[in-house]
Structure 1
Amino acid sequence: MKKLLILLLLTSFHSYAQNDDEKQLKKIYDAALTEGKAYDWLNYLSNQIGGRLSGSLEAQRAVEYTKTQLDSLGLDKVWLQPVMVPKWVRGTPEFAYLETSPGMTTTVPICALGGSVATPVGGLKAKLIEVKGIEELKALGRSKIEGKIVFYNRPMDPTLISTFDAYSGAVDQRFSGAEEAAKFGAVGVIVRSMNLRLDDFPHTGSMSYGETAVADRIPAAAISTNAAEMLATTLKLNPETKFYFKQNSKQFDDVESFNVIGEITGSTHPDEIIVVGGHLDSWDLGDGSHDDGAGCVQSMEVLRLLKISGYKPKRTIRAVLFMNEENGLRGGTEYAAKAEMSNENHVFALESDSGGFTPRGFSFDGSDADLKKVQAWVPLFEPYMVHSFQKGYSGADIAPLKKEGMVLAGLLPDSQRYFAHHHAANDTFEYVNKRELELGAASMASLIYLFDKYGDDFGTLKP
């Protein structure tokens, strides 16, 4: 009889707690969908400031704007954390054409890859060698590559439902293609854009020269997917086709910038810190609405939603808008280094850096035991159709915070349209849906609420 009574009491308590959580999540979602601020903040970031390339005036304006907005929320603390960041400038617009015979040319859309050196002042023209990847490049050897422009033309795999897996399977040619091609005497590199659809937008992105001496570095550019298809067909018909491109990009010395940070101090465990964030910098071709203005305004909105819903966090909830994720990860690295130096105890971190599309769930980097506990919350998110809770990658900026027993998470929006805009001139505000953005912010605030309330059950907080 006594055991039955205890069981009934526990069941009653669990039902009460679940009902309480359902009510809190509804408050959060209702507030986001009826009086949300994220869309207005993003409108200003995108349309009044624009692309926020690391080290640029626009990046500094974004720092000032987001700090002002965080100040207006009545948080317990808002501050700027200095960080030295790279300053790369694209210069005047790039120009390119393919030449099938003297005087017979067709212009094609290209853009310099982030960090690339410039072409010679008059541009660069040479024959092409098409490869599907770095391994094929190595197999061809110097005799077939020297003096030519290497054309990397491996598409993202369309059969992979996870578009981020497709991106991971193709992006090495963009990041390391110039470094590897230079070893075989190539004079330049053209890379098929990381894009699943066929269109005329070239997509930029970070690249590295590794240990290549400055004098031996070769210019690298991305070509649109339509142009890549045309170029591949042209080369089959006429292997003597030449390619010309001109770009004026330049790398300057590092400059000072800032991570923007705001927090609500915990009521009972102020030394235990939960982070939610996105990266404030973007590439310069569009206005960075999806990558990652969306993640920044959603993270700011998390703090606002918790406040207006009447929830008093037990732990310190901190929003961090990281600087320089795109071409250096300096913001995330510096934040983690400062946290370690100050002996800060970070217990959970959530990042939004997959666009502002409809949220589908979360990806968790943690132990199987902790993931099982998290999955018990799925029924709370099912009414909002945000119930894909899976083990996986969290985010680049929060990754340096990882320690044994800690859980990291990433928001998982629907990714099927993301790479049509990623790093391209069409990553603009008009392609962000207000309701989808608000649902993402509400989902993030709900997960933060649950981790704060039940954080004692997870690895980093066990005695």
Structure 2
Amino acid sequence: MKRFLLLLLILFTINISAQTDAETLKTIYTTSLTNGKSYEWLDYLSNQIGGRLSGSLNAEKAVAYTKEELEKLGLDKVWLQPVMVPKWVRGAPEYAYIETGPGKTTTVNICALGGSIATPYGGLKANVVEVQGIEELKKLGEANIKGKIVFYNRPMQADLIQTFEAYGGCVDQRYAGAMEAAKLGAVGVIVRSMNLRLDDFPHTGSMTYGDLPNSKRIPSAAISTNDAETLSTMLALDKNVKFFFSQSCRQLADVQSYNVIGEITGSQYPNEYIIVGGHLDSWDLGDGSHDDGAGVVQSMDVLRLLKESGIKPKRSIRVVLFMNEENGLRGATKYAEVAKQKGENHIFSLESDAGGFTPRGFSFDCSDAVFSKIESWKPLFKPYLIHYFEQGGSGADVGPLKTETNVLAGLRPDSQRYFDHHHAANDTFEHVNKRELELGAATMTALVYLFDTYGIAPISNSNQIKD
């Protein structure tokens, strides 16, 4: 009986090793779609833990949960990497209204931007100056800004198909708007939410005061797109409209947190590392299902799918769940710092931080020669409707690992609905589709498999039978 079982194991191993790449990818996709774990993990992360702001109790719970789940997979190594992170707390719910006359007010939806200071006790009320961006603000000058609330109302550009490009085109007003307005004597800042649709959800996000002293800092909040339209219309009718808002957020001392790391040690090249990851922290308004719970669980499932598919990696494959992407990038910085100290050779790093929607492909930060090789893999992904292979950016968390020779990549799901949920209270589990999430996990696993099998040196043909 033992000999029979041993023979079956040998035959199974020979069969796996003799599979073509197309057959191996089919196994990966089938396993993910019929026996995936990503959706189950996300359910717990989102509904049992919730929003995971850096330094919070929920972030601690997420570290413990994901470490425990990785340990259950039977990986070769699982560990926590300490990192100091900022601790910003929102405090009591924000409140705001537009005042058109004594006793005539319209309540609007706002949320404090991450890193903002609080308003004075009892709130802040002042006249409003609407601008389309920082350049217009500077042209108006101190005479027109001092003592007022600046309302940044530049929308995301709707005719850009690449929604991340639209986001990048206006996010500077959120990030640096308060700093620049404070230099001109403004008393507060309201920023139109980074959202392509009109709704009532304010979208938070990180902001900075630069090197402004504490005494010069002013409170900053996001306003929903519907209410931004309302405020703009009221200002067009009456420049004397006032705006009131109250928020009690504050910045506390840094606290210790962790990156969560798991590894399958390579069988042939254990000192060559391939990493896949997402960020474990999220903003606090929703439960962070798309940003970036989806990327976390997809990355975890990459290692599980490799094992379930009978693939024994040649190179060491790591999943890294980064802490503090949203308001500091401390986890990514720490991971890259430790990797450099140890002289670790990270040949390929893949990040998922663009939501759990249907995967469309990848963007690659690499040389032209390596990209030519990557493009030769494109036919392998065509049966799964993965067509987008482009040179470009990768992801914030893998960015610090870039060298002259390695490859960084980002999973690119369909992004048309992503900013409806990004950093808002409706970034919740119910808005993630199980099948789309599992397709993304399989797509990431397939790419990791190919990089592990063939490395990063250009080759003439990758769709071959492996020896």
TM-score range, shorter chain: over 0.9
In 2 relative to 1, CA 458–115 (structure 1 residues): closer, same or farther, beyond 3 Å?
farther
State the partner residue of 1:395. 395
State the partner residue of 2:12. none
State the partner residue of 1:144. 144
Q: CA deviation at 1:386?
A: 1.0
Q: CA deviation at 1:410?
A: 0.2
Q: Deviations over 1:247-284 (max 9, x none)?
A: 00000000000000001000000000000000000000
Give the distance between the partners of 1:445 and 1:103, measured in 2 at CA.
59
State the partner residue of 1:7. none
State the partner residue of 1:155. 155
Structure 1 residues 195-206: aligned runs within 5 Å: 195-206=195-206
Q: 1:199 is paired with a residue of what secondary structure?
A: coil
Q: CA deviation at 1:458?
A: 5.2
Paired residues of 2:370 and 2:456 also in contact (CA < 8 A):
no
* Identity across matched positions, percent: 70
Moved over 4 A (4+): 16-19
Give the distance between the partners of 2:334 and 2:392, measured in 1 at CA.
24
Q: Deviations over 1:205-230 (max 9, x none)?
A: 00000011011100000000000000
* Aligned partner letter, 1:382: K
Q: 2:87 is paired with a residue of what secondary structure?
A: strand
State the partner residue of 2:431. 431
Q: CA deviation at 1:335?
A: 0.2
The answer as to 2:92 corresponding to 1:92 is yes
Q: 2:48 is paired with a residue of what secondary structure?
A: helix
The answer as to 2:243 corresponding to 1:230 is no
Give the distance between the partners of 1:140 and 1:111, measured in 2 at CA.
26
Q: 1:141 is paired with a residue of what secondary structure?
A: helix
Give the distance between the partners of 2:352 and 2:139, measured in 1 at CA.
39
State the partner residue of 2:409. 409
- Give the superposed CA RMSD: 1.2
Give the distance between the partners of 1:294 and 1:152, measured in 2 at CA.
31
In 2 relative to 1, CA 306–322 (structure 1 residues): closer, same or farther, beyond 3 Å?
same
Paired residues of 2:55 and 2:255 also in contact (CA < 8 A):
yes
Structure 1 residues 63-82: aligned runs within 5 Å: 63-82=63-82
* Aligned partner letter, 2:390: Q
Give the distance between the partners of 1:157 and 1:104, measured in 2 at CA.
33
State the partner residue of 1:216. 216
Q: CA deviation at 1:369?
A: 1.0
Q: Which moved more, 1:366-375 or 1:196-205?
A: 366-375
Q: CA deviation at 1:19?
A: 6.3
Q: Deviations over 1:162-216 (max 9, x none)?
A: 0000000000000000000000000000000000000000000000000110111
Give the distance between the partners of 1:252 and 1:338, measured in 2 at CA.
26
Q: CA deviation at 1:17?
A: 10
Q: 2:43 is paired with a residue of what secondary structure?
A: helix
The answer as to 2:28 corresponding to 1:21 is no
Q: CA deviation at 1:368?
A: 1.0
Q: 1:284 is paired with a residue of what secondary structure?
A: coil
Paired residues of 2:85 and 2:255 also in contact (CA < 8 A):
yes
* Aligned partner letter, 2:51: G
In 2 relative to 1, CA 456–226 (structure 1 residues): closer, same or farther, beyond 3 Å?
closer
State the partner residue of 2:338. 338
Give the distance between the partners of 1:116 and 1:458, measured in 2 at CA.
48
State the partner residue of 1:130. 130
State the partner residue of 1:323. 323
Give the distance between the partners of 1:150 and 1:18, measured in 2 at CA.
65
Q: CA deviation at 1:18?
A: 11
Give the distance between the partners of 2:458 and 2:285, measured in 1 at CA.
42
Give the distance between the partners of 1:65 and 1:400, measured in 2 at CA.
26
The answer as to 2:447 corresponding to 1:451 is no
Give the distance between the partners of 1:458 and 1:89, measured in 2 at CA.
49
Q: 2:20 is paired with a residue of what secondary structure?
A: helix
Q: CA deviation at 1:422?
A: 0.1
State the partner residue of 1:308. 308
Give the distance between the partners of 1:17 and 1:98, measured in 2 at CA.
67
Structure 1 residues 91-130: aligned runs within 5 Å: 91-130=91-130
Give the distance between the partners of 1:17 and 1:458, measured in 2 at CA.
22
Q: Deviations over 1:405-448 (max 9, x none)?
A: 11100000000000000000000000000000000000000000
* Aligned partner letter, 1:206: S
* Aligned partner letter, 2:202: P
* Aligned partner letter, 1:181: A
* Aligned partner letter, 1:323: M
* Aligned partner letter, 1:222: A
State the partner residue of 1:259. 259
Q: Which runs of 5+ in 2 are unaligned?
A: 1-15, 460-467
The answer as to 2:272 corresponding to 1:272 is yes
Give the distance between the partners of 1:159 and 1:136, measured in 2 at CA.
22
State the partner residue of 1:55. 55
Q: 2:455 is paired with a residue of what secondary structure?
A: helix
Q: CA deviation at 1:66?
A: 0.1
Q: 1:327 is paired with a residue of what secondary structure?
A: coil
Q: Deviations over 1:85-109 (max 9, x none)?
A: 0000000000000000011000000
Q: Which runs of 5+ in 1 are unaligned?
A: 1-15
* Aligned partner letter, 1:218: I
Q: 1:227 is paired with a residue of what secondary structure?
A: helix
Give the distance between the partners of 2:214 and 2:90, measured in 1 at CA.
18
Would you say how many aligned residue pairs link Structure 1 and Structure 2?
Answer: 444
Give the distance between the partners of 2:308 and 2:422, measured in 1 at CA.
33
Give the distance between the partners of 1:235 and 1:101, measured in 2 at CA.
13
The answer as to 2:190 corresponding to 1:172 is no
Give the distance between the partners of 1:425 and 1:75, measured in 2 at CA.
35
